[in-house]
């Protein structure tokens, strides 16, 4: 018998763990950046604007020890629209559906009532709750020490771990910690998968990301993006993807802002989004962007459902 094969068999018998981990926290605390760092690839959009993530996005991490299915959630906030209510419903249902909840606290911000409200809901599920202090690169070690003490006194977390997703600090440790908390179970997704999102849905997110970064604080919450059509076409140097997409805004005045003076803003958005989309698809992209006023879509159940925000 071949000794090498026997060694592989013994390795195979190590307990493999697999399960779901939600990433929760207030808007802009670094949840999606953390998920991308854990996955090791961009599977969710991230911006400096609060309220970037609007739907549940799953990122998958597979190692020799196990598989983590990360569930990135929208930032928890007081809802002002039907969309806001649906986003909070998404958070609530993911809290209950996972094996472990990871609650993110940014190192450089105070803990507030919004955190306590979400924490109460997470603890209520009776699931393992891990506190992650994000953006550790943004504070001194002295301030970090105080933050860890404060979080330790806040609730009976199973673990508290500081990380920096942008500097890749303690991300490996967090991966191992998460796997250790998952049930013994074979992989639930193919081990080479990194997300369960569709290409089309991620493309619409990349366009929204480009628009959010370009427009800064002007109207981020009023934007939605839909992809109407994707056509692969032959060009002289090979293949090209033609993408037709619509940016929805809520009011006529917002349409003007998105288009900008002589179309400059829309051109910038298109240029930025095209880069990300061609990287994703591995081929050149022709992006045809239209801006449409879909009045008060955030409050209208019919539009919400058309834009993919079903109950």
Interaction site with ligand GTP (CB under 6 A): 25, 27-33, 46-48, 50-53, 74-75, 134-135, 137-138, 164-166
Q: Compare residues 49 and 300 and give the one whose CB is closer to ligand GTP.
A: 49
3-state secondary structure the chain: CCHHHHHHHHHHCCCCEEEEEEEECCCCCCHHHHHHHHHCCCCCCCCCCCCCCCCCEEEEEECCCEEEEEEECCCCCCCCCHHHHHHHHHHHHHHHHCCEEEEEEECCCCCCHHHHHHHHHHHHCCCEEEEEEECHHHCCHHHHHHHHHHHHHHCCCCEEEECECCCCECHHHHHHHHHHCCCECCCCCCCCCCECCCHHHHHHHHHHHHHHHHHCCCCHHHCEEEEEEEEEEEECCEEEEEEEEEEEECCHHHHHHHHCHHHHHHHHHHHHHHHHHHHHHCCCEEEEEEEEECCCHHHCHHHHHHCCCCC
Q: Which region, left, alpha or beta, applies to residue 129 given φ > 0 means left and ψ of -120 to 50 means alpha?
A: beta
Closest CA to 190 of 61, 54, 96: 61
Stretch that binds Mg ion, among 53-61, 92-100, 218-226, 252-260 (CB under 5 A): 53-61
Q: Which residue is nearest to ligand GTP (CB)?
A: 75
CB of 104 vs ligand GTP, minimal distance in Å:
7
x/- letters, 7..46, toward Mg ion (CB under 5 A): ------------------------xx--------------
94 binds Mg ion (CB under 5 A): no
CB of 152 vs Mg ion, minimal distance in Å:
26
CB of 261 vs ligand GTP, minimal distance in Å:
27
Q: Compare residues 53 and 195 and give the one whose CB is closer to ligand GTP.
A: 53
Q: Which among ligand GTP, Mg ion, none contacts residue 50 (Cβ within 5 to 8 A by kind)?
A: ligand GTP
The only residue of 18, 47, 53, 254 in contact with Mg ion, by rule CB under 5 A: 53
Q: Compare residues 22 and 53 and give the one whose CB is closer to Mg ion.
A: 53
CB of 144 vs ligand GTP, minimal distance in Å:
12
Q: Compare residues 129 and 243 and give the one whose CB is closer to ligand GTP.
A: 129
Size of the site for Mg ion (CB under 5 A): 4
Side by side, the strands of the sheet bearing 57-62 are 57-62, 66-72, 17-24, 100-106, 128-134, 159-162
Q: Compare residues 18 and 204 and give the one whose CB is closer to ligand GTP.
A: 204
Q: Compare residues 17 and 105 and give the one whose CB is closer to ligand GTP.
A: 105
Q: Which among ligand GTP, Mg ion, none contacts residue 166 (Cβ within 5 to 8 A by kind)?
A: ligand GTP
Q: Which among ligand GTP, Mg ion, none contacts residue 84 (Cβ within 5 to 8 A by kind)?
A: none
CB of 167 vs ligand GTP, minimal distance in Å:
6
CB 154 within 8 A of CB 111: yes
Q: Which among Mg ion, ligand GTP, none contacts residue 30 (Cβ within 5 to 8 A by kind)?
A: ligand GTP
Q: Compare residues 81 and 283 and give the one whose CB is closer to ligand GTP.
A: 81
CB of 52 vs ligand GTP, minimal distance in Å:
4
Residue that has been written with the tokens 């940014």 in this structure: 106
The residue count for the chain: 311
Binding site for Mg ion (CB under 5 A): 31-32, 52-53
């Amino acid at each position: 018998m071949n000794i090498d094969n026997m060694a592989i068999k013994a390795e195979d018998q190590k307990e493999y763990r697999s399960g779901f981990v939600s990433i929760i926290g207030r808007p802009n605390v670094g949840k999606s950046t953390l998920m991308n760092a854990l996955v090791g690839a961009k599977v969710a959009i991230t911006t400096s604007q609060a309220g970037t993530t609007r739907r549940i996005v799953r990122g998958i991490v597979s190692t020799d020890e196990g598989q983590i299915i990360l569930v990135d959630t929208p930032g928890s906030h007081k809802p002002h629209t039907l969309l806001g209510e649906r986003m909070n419903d998404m958070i609530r249902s993911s809290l209950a559906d996972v094996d472990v909840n990871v609650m993110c606290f940014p190192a450089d911000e105070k803990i507030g009532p919004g955190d306590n409200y979400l924490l109460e809901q997470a603890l209520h599920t009776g699931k393992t709750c891990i506190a992650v202090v994000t953006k550790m690169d943004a504070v001194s070690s002295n301030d970090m020490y105080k933050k860890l003490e404060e979080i330790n006194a806040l609730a009976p977390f199973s673990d508290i771990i500081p990380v920096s997703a942008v500097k890749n600090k303690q991300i490996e440790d967090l991966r191992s910690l998460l796997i250790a908390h998952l049930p013994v179970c074979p992989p639930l997704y193919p081990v080479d998968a990194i997300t369960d999102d569709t290409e089309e849905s991620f493309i619409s997110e990349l366009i929204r990301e480009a628009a959010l970064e370009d427009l800064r604080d002007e109207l981020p919450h009023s934007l939605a993006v839909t992809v109407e059509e994707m056509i692969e076409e032959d060009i002289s140097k090979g293949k090209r993807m033609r993408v037709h997409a619509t940016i929805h805004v809520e009011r006529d005045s917002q349409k003007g802002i998105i288009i900008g003076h002589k179309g400059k803003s829309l051109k910038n958005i298109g240029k930025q989004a095209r880069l990300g989309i061609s990287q994703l698809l591995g081929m050149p992209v022709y992006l045809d962007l239209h801006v449409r006023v879909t009045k008060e879509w955030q409050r209208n159940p019919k539009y919400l459902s058309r834009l993919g925000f079903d109950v």
